[in-house]
Amino acid sequence: MAGPIRPTISDVARAAGVSRTTVSHALNGIGKVDPRTRERVVQAAAELGYRPSLRAQRLRSGQSRTIGLVSSMPVAVAGGPSKLGFFMEVAAAAAETALLHGFALVLVPPLDSDPPLDSLDIDGAIVIEPDQDDPTTKRLQSRGVPIVSIGPQRGTDLPHVDLRAPQVGRLLLDHLREQGADRIALLMGSGHRSWYVDLAEVYAEFSREHGMPPLVVEADESGGEETGQAACEELLAQHPEVDAICASVDAFAIGAVRAAESLGLDIPTDLRVATRYDGVRARTSTPTLTAVDLHLAQAAASAVELLLANLKGTEVPQVVTNPPPRLVPRASTLTG
């Protein structure tokens, strides 16, 4: 399956009767080249179908014109049944925006093993919701790769697109209360992703405001649905008064639904379940899950543009705020 033999710069030089340097200068508009010579070189190149090597051009320019999109979530949360979730929704929009700017987008999806980042020739990367000590972000930074994140990285001043986490948390908690819940528990992932920390803060504030005893359960996100279910079953056994679960990730919300089923609780009458990401899982689970439209496509486009502006060295604001999130109420909370 070898392609057609590609003419080289030497072929053009031979055909035009000049040196390779002259060909290079003539075609790239550098140095002084006699206009008639330039004309002869251009014509020889066209006749031979010569195209300068992209890679050589890029070596000269120092740019690969490729950016990476990196998932920072474990496979159990971002892969498997969530494979078409958050990461791929961002990827679709980011790839489109990047291409329209003449950049290619390379995907680094959730992997069971460490992604082979050192073999990626990228000018910059977008990291999705990195944890405070995200090792992938660190590795890229140690290689000098400029990074932009979707959702801020705590404890850093990484340029980012702000998904308005506190507002998202408010939307979910206020909605659960409107649907009659007065003992809402928080089902959280471990780690210090900024979304988790912001949600915990909003929840603490909300609990104080409404005189509701706070109940926060942490589960290991790498366990996905199963750890979510186990944590939820334990919580409900110890606190049968809980009438709503606000789950930080959709895998945990599915776990909460399973826990309710195994305990014979009706959703939403006995237990309301809501989660953040309005993805395939929220839309296709039984019952369908109340979630929030984060305007991810727009966040992805903004992240690409922010990264490209940083690569160009343009003076830009280092935080782009996404449009206000919108609640999408569904069967899992609508008590009627």
* Under rule CB under 8 A, residue 115 binds a copy of itself: yes
C-alpha dihedral (224, 185, 149, 250), degrees to nearest 10: 40
Pick one of 30, 54, 204, 237: the residue that binds a copy of itself (CB under 8 A): 54
Q: What are phi and psi of 126, to 5 degrees?
A: -110, 125
- Find the binder of a copy of itself among 120, 219, 251, 274 (CB under 8 A): 120
- How many chain residues are in contact with a copy of itself, going by CB under 8 A? 55
Tokens of 84: 């078409």
Exactly one of 42, 52, 65, 132 binds a copy of itself (CB under 8 A); that residue is 65
In sequence order, which residues have a C-beta less than 8 Å from that of residue 191 and are 6 or more positions away? Answer: 131, 132, 221
Site for a copy of itself contains 89 (CB under 8 A)? yes
Using CB under 8 A, which of the segments 24-32, 35-43, 95-103, 325-333 binds a copy of itself? Answer: 95-103
Which conformational region is residue 62 in: left (phi greater than 0), alpha (psi within -120 to 50 degrees), or beta? left
User: CA dist 38 to 12, 17, 43, 49, 241, Å?
Assistant: 12, 11, 9, 16, 83
> Which candidate, 35, 42, 55, places its Cα nearest to that of 12?
42
- Taking residues 220 to 259 in sequence order and writing x for each that binds a copy of itself by CB under 8 A, - otherwise, the string is ----------------------------------------
Q: How far apart are CA 331 and CA 260, in angstroms?
A: 14
Out of 8, 37, 48, 92, point to the residue binding a copy of itself (CB under 8 A).
Answer: 92
What is the contact surface with a copy of itself in residues (CB under 8 A)? 1-4, 6, 51, 53-56, 58-59, 64-66, 68, 83-84, 87-89, 91-93, 95-96, 99-100, 102, 104-109, 111, 113, 115-116, 118-121, 141, 143-146, 159, 280, 283-284, 297, 310, 313
